[in-house]
Amino acid sequence: MSIDSAGTVVTQFFTFAEEEPFGLESGESLGPVTLAYETYGTLNSDRSNGILVCHALSGSAHAAGWLDGDSDKPGWWEDCIGPGKAFDTDRFFVLCSNVIGSCYGSTGPASIDPKTGKPYGLNFPVVTVGDMVRAQVRLLNHLGIDRLLCVAGGSMGGMQVLEWAAHHPARTRAAIPIATTAHHSPMLIAFSEVGRQAIYADPAWHQGAYYDQTQKPDAGLALARMIGHITYLSEESMQLKFGRRLQGIEKYGYEFETEFEVESYLKYNGLKFTRRFDANSYLYVTKAMDYFDLKQPTGSLAATFAGAADLKFLVISFTSDWLYPSYHSKQLVSALTAANIDVTYLDVKSSWGHDAFLLEVETMTHLLGSFLERLVREEQIAVPAPLGASQRGSSTTLQSTRLADNLA
Amino acid sequence: MKLPPPSPPTAPLRPDLSAIADLVEAGWRVLDLGCGDGALLEFLRDHKAVRGRGIELSEKGMLACVHRGLSVRQGNLQEGLADYPDQSFDAVILSQTLPFLDDPAMVLNEMLRVGRTAIVSFSNWGHWRCRLELLFTGRIPIAVDLPQQWHESPRRQLFSVTDFARFCRQIDIRIDRQIYMNHGIRIRTGRFKNLLSTTAVFTLHRGN
């Protein structure tokens, strides 16, 4: 186990709305609601060093460390969360929770509906990014954190960040939306819909009531994921990653088998996804993203963020991201500037498309680390000074430092 | 994976930036256009309690600014300035950038829309060495404080202190405080500002 990992972690669960149901934006309600979450690092005495990281479409609460001590299950943002990393768990209390509607332990369509004793399926109410965030607010209340140091996340995680800033600005000091948009575009809705249609078209889907069937709508879900993967890459990254290389064969077979590496990659990832994700959750979470539009109700983004004047923003986009193109972030930055909000913005040069937010580790570490350092200084947050690399030389040193922290 | 090393102990500011810093008052809200690696904004924050913002085009400059803990946006001056509300800064700074602008009148007017004061520094092609260079060698002079050949990019337009003063009158901008420098040293020029200075630093206000 690497010494710069958050180590062995466990997923925890918080259940609320057991008596009074949780009201949703749609007018429907849900209850009880369970949130799966993980935490890394230690909350300081005035509870001011909390960082909430928000996951993307298919993510989970498992953002860092090894689940059950299994090194095959690193967190989805392992590169940026851990001792000495951008989100330094020696200094900050990092928190990640699975969104409602998903399938990694939080209440979603695969959960048991208490009214019927069977999985919700399509009886699960449609949720929004706003609902996901209001559920996270309940978790923060439960953990006794009045105000976070920052909320950070990419893609759909970035939408949650913007939702926090726009509608719960008193609960955080800073916001880090990455490779995202304040306003889900028609192109994004189109890709969502094609993915959903792939699932609807699978005869094993059974209008969402497939949980007691032996065959699941895996073909539809895999196809939806393959489409998704294309949108996460870029033309350039596909050239770099696959080119026109063939997979396991010397020359064309002139047949409809998997021949090109890129085909094999998509097929493999589509199949892999069916082993970990629920098709109905894919429908619900993509729908939540489609409804996301912070320009409403006034039509002005600047008006939406009027209450966030005390927040500091770090907005990051990537030059080759065509799913969430840089101009979406630039529009956000313009609106924040017009509202007199402190915003730092960089369009990072990268070939990796939308995936860049997880791959450009060096630049991200620099940006996130420096921005957090500034927050610690300007917001006067009591955290331990960063440990130098030399102090982190061996696991023994680290262990004893940790022990000392625990004793103190 | 590891964070970059902490920045070295503060190096002395470039002479024109140091002159600009002297024209900024403590506690001001300042916008630095094309703020480069953020050296001036960091100095103003640490020594004058200035609340600073920057606009910078290069990723290298941006990363250096973020590392210094500054609030900086990536973008060009034109799109950057347009977003700011009227009179949202005490001063808007433009250092050694005027010769590179496509539309200096637009930028100066925008600076005075967004800020109460504009502060500019620029190289002076009216300096006697430039005049002699053209006269005796027949070559277009290289500004003393901007050693760049005519063919190098970004391309720039030559002008002198006198040109700039006339231009400000034309677009109804008043020049107030004036600092003249020769090879980085502040000088008293008397009547021979244009002849003796290699760089000028001015504060500008709306005329009337």
Tens of pLDDT, residues B163-173: 999 999 999 99
**Least confident segment among A74-88, A341-355, A379-393, B104-118:** A379-393
Single out the residue of A273, A59, A209, A35 nearest to residue A134, CA to CA.
A35
Residues of A in contact with B63 (CB under 8 A): 346, 363, 366-367
For the segment B181-202, the average pLDDT, to the nearest whole number, is: 93
The answer to whether the CB of B176 falls within 8 A of the CB of B202 is: yes
Q: Before A297, cis peptide (omega within 30)?
A: yes
Residues 6+ apart with CB under 8 A from A343: A312, A313, A314, A315, A333, A336, A337, B71, B73
Task: Note the pLDDT of residue B54.
Answer: 97
For the segment A34-49, the average pLDDT, to the nearest whole number, is: 96
The answer to whether the CB of A294 falls within 8 A of the CB of A287 is: no
Is B74 touching A (CB cutoff 8 A)?
yes
With a pLDDT cut of 70, the percent of chain B lying above it is 95
Name the 3-class secondary structure at A284. helix
Report d(CA B205, CA B208) in Å as an integer: 9
Q: Cβ A365–B1 below 8 Å, yes or no? A: yes
Q: What ipTM did this prediction achieve?
A: 0.91
With a pLDDT cut of 70, the percent of chain A lying above it is 94
With a pLDDT cut of 90, the percent of chain A lying above it is 88
* Gyration radius of chain A over CA positions: 21
Q: Cβ B69–A337 below 8 Å, yes or no? A: no
The catalytic position among A155, A234, A237, A329 is A155
Residue A70 pairs in a beta bridge with none
Task: Note the pLDDT of residue A393.
Answer: 47
- For residue A315, what is the nearest residue in chain B, using CA coordinates? B73
b/e per residue A19-58 (b: at least 16 CB within 10 A): eeebebeeeeebeebbbbbbbbbbbbeeebbbbbbbbbbb
The answer for B 84-143 residues in CB contact with A (under 8 A) is: 84-85, 88
- Domain ranges for chain A, please list them: 8-184+293-407, 185-290
For the segment B191-205, the average pLDDT, to the nearest whole number, is: 96
Distances (CA, A) of A133 to A57, A186, A288, A314, B112: 14, 23, 12, 19, 41
The tens digit of pLDDT for each residue in A347-396 reads: 999 999 999 999 999 999 999 999 999 999 999 998 888 776 555 544 43
Amino acid at A238: M
Chain A and chain B share a number of CB contacts under 8 A equal to 69
Q: Cβ A340–B85 below 8 Å, yes or no? A: yes
Q: Identify the CATH assignment for A185-290 out of 3.40.50.880, 2.60.40.1120, 1.10.1740.110, 2.40.37.10.
A: 1.10.1740.110
The answer for B 139-168 residues in CB contact with A (under 8 A) is: none
CA–CA min distance B157, chain A (Å): 29
Report d(CA A144, CA B88) in Å as an integer: 37
Task: Note the pLDDT of residue B7.
Answer: 52
Q: What is the mean pLDDT of chain B?
A: 92
The tens digit of pLDDT for each residue in B18-27 reads: 999 999 999 9
Report d(CA A350, CA A45) in Å as an integer: 40
Q: What is the mean pLDDT of chain A?
A: 92
Per-residue pLDDT for A288 more than 50?
A: yes
CA–CA min distance B161, chain A (Å): 34
Which residue has tokens 């606009």? B55
Residues of A in contact with B77 (CB under 8 A): none
- Indicate if A155 belongs to the active site: yes
Report d(CA A381, CA A360) in Å as an integer: 28
- For residue A374, what is the nearest residue in chain B, using CA coordinates? B69
The tens digit of pLDDT for each residue in B131-151 reads: 999 999 999 999 988 888 889
The answer to whether the CB of A166 falls within 8 A of the CB of A300 is: no
Name the 3-class secondary structure at A293. strand
Straight-line distance from the first to the last Cα atom of chain A, in angstroms, rounded to the nearest whole number: 26
Q: Does the predicted model carry a pTM greater than 0.90?
A: yes
| Residue B12: count of CB within 10 angstroms of its CB | 9
Name the 3-class secondary structure at A288. helix
- Indicate if A212 belongs to the active site: no
Which domains, ranges and CATH numbers included, belong to chain B? 15-206 (3.40.50.150)
b/e per residue B146-178 (b: at least 16 CB within 10 A): beeeeeeeeebebbbbeebbeebeeeebebeee
pLDDT bucket at B1, cuts 50 / 70 / 90: very low
| Residue A8: count of CB within 10 angstroms of its CB | 13
- For residue A331, what is the nearest residue in chain B, using CA coordinates? B83
Q: Cβ A337–B83 below 8 Å, yes or no? A: yes
Task: Note the pLDDT of residue A71.
Answer: 73
Report d(CA A106, CA A336) in Å as an integer: 33
Single out the residue of A40, A103, A88 nearest to residue A278, CA to CA.
A103
Residue A29 pairs in a beta bridge with A23
Per-residue pLDDT for A286 more than 70?
A: yes
Task: Note the pLDDT of residue A388.
Answer: 62
Report d(CA A33, CA A247) in Å as an integer: 45
User: Residues of A at the B interface (Cβ-Cβ below 8 Å)?
Assistant: 4, 79, 84-86, 312, 314, 330, 333-334, 337-338, 340, 342-349, 361-363, 365-367, 369-371, 373-374, 377-378, 386, 389
Residue B177, phi then psi, degrees to nearest 5: -70, 140
Name the 3-class secondary structure at A309. coil
The answer to whether the CB of A288 falls within 8 A of the CB of A127 is: yes
Residues of B in contact with A347 (CB under 8 A): 74
Report d(CA A127, CA A124) in Å as an integer: 9
Report d(CA A102, CA A373) in Å as an integer: 33
Per-residue pLDDT for A334 more than 70?
A: yes
Class of domain A8-184+293-407 (CATH, top level): alpha beta
